[in-house]
Amino acid sequence: MMETTNQTLNTIKPSKFIAFNRLFAAVYTFAVLTLLYYHVLKLITNSHTKSSIFISISMLIADLLLAFTWSTGQAFRMYPVTRKPDPEKIIETIGKSGFPDLDVFICTADPYKEHPISVVNTALSVMAYDYPTEKLSVYISDDGGSQLTLFAFMEAVKFGKYWLPFCRENDIMERCPHAFFGSNCEKIHQSEKIKMMYEKMKKRVEEAVESRKISEHISEKEREAFGKWSQGFTCEEHPSVIEVLVDSNRDTDIRGVAMPNLVYVSREKTNTSFHHFKAGALNTLLRVSALMTNAPIILTIDCDMFSNDPKTPYSVLCFYMDTLLSSKLAYIQFPQSFHGLNKDDIYSSEMKRWFHINPKGMDGLSGPDNMGTCCFIIRKALFGPPFSILQPEMALLSPNHVVKNLISSQQTLEMALYVAGSDYEKHKNWGFEIGFRYGSLVEDFFTGYRLHSEGWKSIFCDPERPAFYGEAPISLHQAVNQVKRWSVGLLEVAFSKYSPLTFGMTNLGPLMTHCYSYYAFSPLLSIPITIYAFLPQLTLLNQIYIFPKVSDPLFLLYIFLFLGAYIQDCLDFILEKGTITRWWNEQRIWLIRGLTCYLFGTIEYLMKQLKFSTVEFNVTNKISDDEQSKRYYEGIFEFGVSSPMFYPLATTSIINLAAFFGGFLQIIMKGEKYLDSAFVQTFIAGFGVLNCIPIYEAMALRTDNGRMPIKITIIASFLAWSLYFVTSNFIFKV
Ligand SMILES: O=c1ccn([C@@H]2O[C@H](COP(=O)(O)OP(=O)(O)O[C@H]3O[C@H](CO)[C@@H](O)[C@H](O)[C@H]3O)[C@@H](O)[C@H]2O)c(=O)[nH]1
Ligand SMILES: [Mn+2]
């Protein structure tokens, strides 16, 4: 395939599988249509009893939704590309003096779920970027409004004065202290000394968090800053706090080199105004940074990630400086990569399809969706469409404004406090036409989608050495809780006035509409997965056969559809450096999500629509105990807590087991004729059983704290039995 080069700063290479993908999609579409035709025919001609109508309609709905997901998912396969920047060239082309300013936004929201020492590590890793320090600024948004976080940063600055020159002089790759000291670092000059300093800082921060009190040994100036935490200051209600911890015009490291700016921002919170979670926090930073530095490029990074390559901004500039791309370029997205996953990645936290495979598919169209973190956004893209930039209410906040005041001047600080006020956005465009968009718990996805709809493009950059690393949830409960929040957020987009099916269709090309629909409606997969997890099994137990016989030619259609989708999925995974075991775990987690977070996310979304409840951004807990970590590294599933989400999972595992053995026994007893009619259902139940092995272990074989709570096992057994009883006596008998 031909490679095209733009100013040699970057290359783009289409995938070798494009022709194959398209051909396969055409064949598979034909097969899907045949299946749907068969369902409709069966419903019209063969469904005479109430129970057969119920079964036929359920299967039709299930297969329609699967077909929808499959067909929208094909858009990612139509033109996948891989881009490669040439970071060395950027220095030759513009030199470091030509580098634009770079602002970094780091969000944190809760010092007890997001340990301040980790947030500090994130910040230090980017402050140590190989970038002209006077052009680099780091802004911390603390939605937890916590003294502990501010204290941690004060400590970090002192350590940073040693850490930054140490990294620079030794050309360290791992500039996140925690990652560096955890690696093989002894050979480097002075690393022992620096390590001791780091440990000391860490200890001070950890002691503060543990005792929920900051150390007595602080300077007068520091004490003054903490004075803002007066009586009545809570994380839900407090005035804005903004502290310029490092001003690069003033502060230097131990070698006398300027340090990057570091600004702590905790926006005002009141009970009377809605703060829009992370999107609101980012918009506050957007305004505060506009007053202080107003860099044209912004890196958004969550506090659970850190930089793994100090030269990442060079790659970004290879796209930003490319004149063929720059006029419509809204953001450059790097994948979220995770360290510390267990060998087989049991919860498929890697999210290979969402974070690595699909973005390449979108990159060949208008560009990847926004993942909220590891993303370099071009500031002006947040201010209206590419060729008609919207001016915000104050010229000072415009992306074109040139900053003249010093960042720690009184005037700047007063203005910054004002724009960080909780009422500031009232009757203004923020979150609607300007900035990160409100209205969805997945503000990243929604913002990216809106930018694409306005005509902006984005780029996916997935270098060999991951640019960022992050932490992934290490218990099943955390993992599904996170995706539950995403599910609510996605449905908020799917059924809003910005639905991809309506708004998207008119503003994006058909393929991009497919991609966004694939994500936005993905929680609805809970419907087919739930149907397939219960209906074939319950009917089998009642000796009702709902699939074609093995001797029927339609059986081959089922085989083709099942194997076709599964093998293609597996191939995608392997080609993206996956292993078979990890792929198997990914398909299992896909099924688990269908019965847990997709299902509960959909219910939660409906509850919110019906005004029975409101939805919250539940920050993922990033702290786990040692025992839990140990089990995780041994590859053992962690249940432990009695989450309502585990009920469907436990119930279906029991039903599948019963159905599989029921079917199997009957095949043995009744022989070939039975095999002919019951094979598909017995196979599905067997497939379910295979996927449920960790659940059986957790219910029956384990005694550790991570096992399935006994209460859930008992209630699920009862539920399974009731389902069988009700279906056999009432539903399938009519
Ligand atoms: O009111 C809030 C809630 C969250 N956050 C921050 O948002 C980030 C993401 O929260 P986390 O609990 O880690 O959620 P994840 O599900 O891991 O995050 C993914 O999903 C989010 C949308 O749901 C995106 O914003 C993230 O970028 C993306 O990594 C963290 O830095 C939080 O501190 C805030 O600043 N304010
Ligand atoms: Mn996170």
Taking the CA of 116 as reference, the closest ligand is 1
Query: 29 falls in which pLDDT band (50, 70, 90)?
Result: very high
Among protein residues, the one with the nearest Cα to ligand 1's atom 17 is 620
Residue 369 Cβ < 6 Å to ligand 1: no
3-state secondary structure of 377: strand
Residue 107 Cβ < 6 Å to ligand 1: yes
**What's the pTM?**
0.96
Query: 624 falls in which pLDDT band (50, 70, 90)?
Result: confident
**Ion ligand 2 nearby residues (CB, 5 A):** 302, 304
Of 599, 620, 23, 86, residue with least CA distance to 303: 620
How confident is the model at residue 7, as a pLDDT?
Answer: 57
pLDDT over 70 at 535, yes or no: yes
Query: Ligand 1 pocket check: which of 126, 284, 492, 617 to mutate, most ligand atoms within 8 Å of Cβ?
Result: 617
Percent of the chain with pLDDT over 70: 99
In whole angstroms, how far apart are CA 511 and each of 273, 331, 367, 501? 39, 20, 11, 12
Burial 386-414, CB ≥16 within 10 A → b, else e: beebeebeeebbbbeeebeeebbeeebbe
Residue 301 Cβ < 6 Å to ligand 1: no
Least confident residue range of 28-37, 108-117, 467-476, 614-623: 614-623
Contact status, residue 9 vs residue 318, Cβ threshold 8 Å: yes
What six digits make up the tokens of 496?
């809003």
Percent of the chain with pLDDT over 90: 89
How confident is the model at residue 607, as a pLDDT?
Answer: 96
β-strand partners of 469? 306
In whole angstroms, how far apart are CA 302 and each of 139, 261, 487? 12, 18, 19
Catalytic residue of the set 143, 304, 363, 369: 143
Average pLDDT over residues 476-483: 96
Least confident residue range of 264-268, 341-345, 616-620: 616-620
Among protein residues, the one with the nearest Cα to ligand 1's atom 28 is 372
Taking the CA of 478 as reference, the closest ligand is 1
Query: Ligand 1 pocket check: which of 148, 265, 278 to mutate, most ligand atoms within 8 Å of Cβ?
Result: 278
Query: 1 falls in which pLDDT band (50, 70, 90)?
Result: very low
What six digits make up the tokens of 42?
């069966």
β-strand partners of 81? 14
Q: How far apart are CA 436 and CA 416, in angstroms?
A: 18
pLDDT over 80 at 5, yes or no: no
- Give the chain's end-to-end CA distance (angstroms, integer): 60
How confident is the model at residue 363, as a pLDDT?
Answer: 98
Residue 479 Cβ < 6 Å to ligand 1: no
How confident is the model at residue 678, as a pLDDT?
Answer: 93
What's the 686 CA to ligand 1 centre distance in angstroms?
38
What's the 339 CA to ligand 2 centre distance in angstroms?
13
Atom number of ligand 1 nearest to Cα 372 = 27
ipTM over 0.95: yes
pLDDT over 70 at 83, yes or no: yes
pLDDT: is 352 or 183 the higher one?
352
Give the phi and the psi of residue 136 in degrees, each rounded to 5.
-115, 130
The Cβ of residue 154 has, within 10 Å, a number of other Cβ atoms equal to 23
How confident is the model at residue 4, as a pLDDT?
Answer: 41
What's the 128 CA to ligand 1 centre distance in angstroms?
23
How confident is the model at residue 186, as a pLDDT?
Answer: 72
Query: 47 falls in which pLDDT band (50, 70, 90)?
Result: confident
Q: What is the pLDDT of residues 645-676, one digit of tens each?
A: 999 999 999 999 999 999 999 888 888 888 89
Among protein residues, the one with the nearest Cα to ligand 1's atom 23 is 442
Atom number of ligand 1 nearest to Cα 281 = 35
Residue 489 Cβ < 6 Å to ligand 1: yes
Taking the CA of 334 as reference, the closest ligand is 1
Catalytic residue of the set 101, 345, 363, 444: 444
Query: 734 falls in which pLDDT band (50, 70, 90)?
Result: low
pLDDT over 50 at 278, yes or no: yes
Average pLDDT over residues 576-596: 97
Contact status, residue 343 vs residue 564, Cβ threshold 8 Å: no
Among protein residues, the one with the nearest Cα to ligand 1's atom 19 is 372
What's the 303 CA to ligand 2 centre distance in angstroms?
7
How confident is the model at residue 2, as a pLDDT?
Answer: 40
What's the 317 CA to ligand 1 centre distance in angstroms?
26
Among protein residues, the one with the nearest Cα to ligand 1's atom 32 is 108
Query: 3 falls in which pLDDT band (50, 70, 90)?
Result: very low
Q: How far apart are CA 225 and CA 263, in angstroms?
A: 13
| Residue 143 annotated to the active site | yes
What's the 544 CA to ligand 2 centre distance in angstroms?
46
Q: How far apart are CA 328 and CA 511, in angstroms?
A: 19
Of 178, 181, 83, residue with least CA distance to 470: 178
What's the 162 CA to ligand 1 centre distance in angstroms?
30
Taking the CA of 373 as reference, the closest ligand is 1
| Residue 309 annotated to the active site | no
Q: What is the pLDDT of residues 210-236, one digit of tens each?
A: 999 888 888 888 888 999 998 889 999
What's the 109 CA to ligand 2 centre distance in angstroms?
11
pLDDT over 50 at 601, yes or no: yes
Q: How far apart are CA 162 and CA 688, in angstroms?
A: 55
Of 512, 520, 359, 524, residue with least CA distance to 446: 520
Q: What is the pLDDT of residues 177-214, one digit of tens each?
A: 999 998 877 778 888 999 999 999 999 999 999 999 88
Residue 357 Cβ < 6 Å to ligand 1: no
